[in-house]
Amino acid sequence: MIILTLNCGSSSAKYQVYDWESKDVLAVGIVEKVTIGGSFITHKAKGKEEVVFEHDCPTHTDAINLIIKTLTSKDTGVISDMSVIKAVGHRVVHGGDKFTKSVIVNNAAMEAFAEMQDMSPLHNPANIMGIEAAKKVLPDVPHCATMDTAWHQTMPPESYMYAVPSEWYEKYHVRRYGFHGTSFLYTAKRAAVLLGQDPFKTNLIICHIGNGASVNAVKDGCSFDTSMGITPLEGLIMGTRSGDIDPALPFYIMRKTGMSAAEVESALNKKAGLLGMTGKHTDRRDIQAAAVAGDKTALRAQYIEAHHVRKYIGAYQAVLGRVDALVFTAGVGEFAWFMRNKILENLDGIGIVYDPRRNEMSHTRNTETIISKPESKIPVYIIPTDEELVMTEDAYALMKGNYDTHTHFTYSFQSKDYVNKGRAEGLKAELAKNPGLAEIIAKPK
């Protein structure tokens, strides 16, 4: 049985093909520059070289058709035809407070996703287009949606309520929702495995840091607080998003410049963050290179970003009381050792003692690592996320009718014997080139 997962952004469509019987990833890829011209697909099939080729995709339907053509092609394909695909899993960023778990997509679900577009204008419209396009191409299989917000529905009122007029909450659903939930679910379950603890007796601070970034306080295995808010703009400094600011700042800028509310909203989402501070960079590798070359603006941006992450780590330790582990995940969290260095500096006072040498060695997606010193009261793990696997397992369980919220459902990756075959193969190749990596591999207790 083959399960396809799709993650459609405003101008992209990521995909993964998973063989349920062999528990293996057959192919992954992404179509970029959808709707804006110059579209191209990057496709990697198991056992084959990565291929990149251009193909115009003026709509998401065109992108889905390109993905299907690539998957069934004699040269690049991994399946004979689309009839072998028995379910499709979709990522939806904002599900509001209507969903506590993944669902089979029906008209009511699509209406709910559409209602949330004002709260996630950069993501939900694209997610909806992707679902509609996929259903046109694959009309006879179940389509399942996994919402980033669902994981955070366990937060208590003290975490999700804003101090605003109560009618805003009652009429307009103004509250903290949080995002990156699928990633937090996976990494929280894996952290409990590494710690050798009952997942529902485990407290964690998880830093999901990519172009978008957020921190999650996990109490007794469930989301307790998180840095993103009613939209993905709140919280940490991100690639192009401002993160936390004085709420009066937009009004001040509107008065000073004459900018409209829409223009300020766009600037805070697309022109702020690291791009705003450096004037040209969003990729941390570029910022690091500039900082090493003596660019004071880039160096300042690094320290400001790290400062904000440290503040949340300290705040969430106070909120949780006991912290069993600190976890880094997502592209920057997994690979940018120089950013982790800056974030982890001077945390000895709260029981986090990292090893700079071990930290610099950890830049892989093929294994989980530990970068703290033995004397650290709180271990620091790097856990490569796997949102696609969560979506795949949710879709399969929904199709079979045995799915439930994560508090009443067990994933395959919750076993200490779980192995990701593709990552295991990649790790072998890495160890052959860098045997020292074995020293920092985190093993279940």
Are 183 and 330 spatial neighbours (Cβ–Cβ below 8 Å)? yes
Token output for 365:
């997606």
Token output for 341:
């260095």
The count of residues in the chain is 445
For residue 384, give Cα distances in angstroms to 190, 208, 290, 291, 368.
Answer: 10, 10, 26, 26, 7
Q: How far apart are CA 295 and CA 376, in angstroms?
A: 34
Token output for 13:
């469509």
Q: How many helices (H) and strands (E) does the chain have?
A: 16, 14
Single-letter amino acid code for the residue at 78: V
Contacts of 245 (CB under 8 A, 6+ apart): 268
Q: In what order do the strands lie in the sheet with 103-104?
A: 51-54, 40-45, 24-32, 12-19, 2-9, 85-92, 143-147, 103-104
Sign of the alpha-carbon dihedral angle for 436, 195, 342, 242: positive
Name the β-bridge partners of 53: 41
Sign of the alpha-carbon dihedral angle for 397, 401, 406, 410: negative
Are 121 and 4 spatial neighbours (Cβ–Cβ below 8 Å)? no
Hunting for tokens 């990596």 — which residue is that? 437
Q: E-strand spans in 134-212?
A: 143-147, 204-209
Q: How far apart are CA 225 and CA 292, in angstroms?
A: 35
Are 310 and 354 spatial neighbours (Cβ–Cβ below 8 Å)? no
Token output for 281:
């960079």
Catalytically active residues are: 148
> What DSSP state is assigned to residue 355?
-
- The CB-side HSE value for 132 (13 A sphere, CA atoms) comes to 13
Exposure pattern of 103-135 as b/e (b: 16+ CB <10 Å)?
bebeeebbebbeebeebbbbbbebbbbbbbbbb
Exposure pattern of 175-198 as b/e (b: 16+ CB <10 Å)?
bbbbbbbbbbbbbbbbbbbbbebe
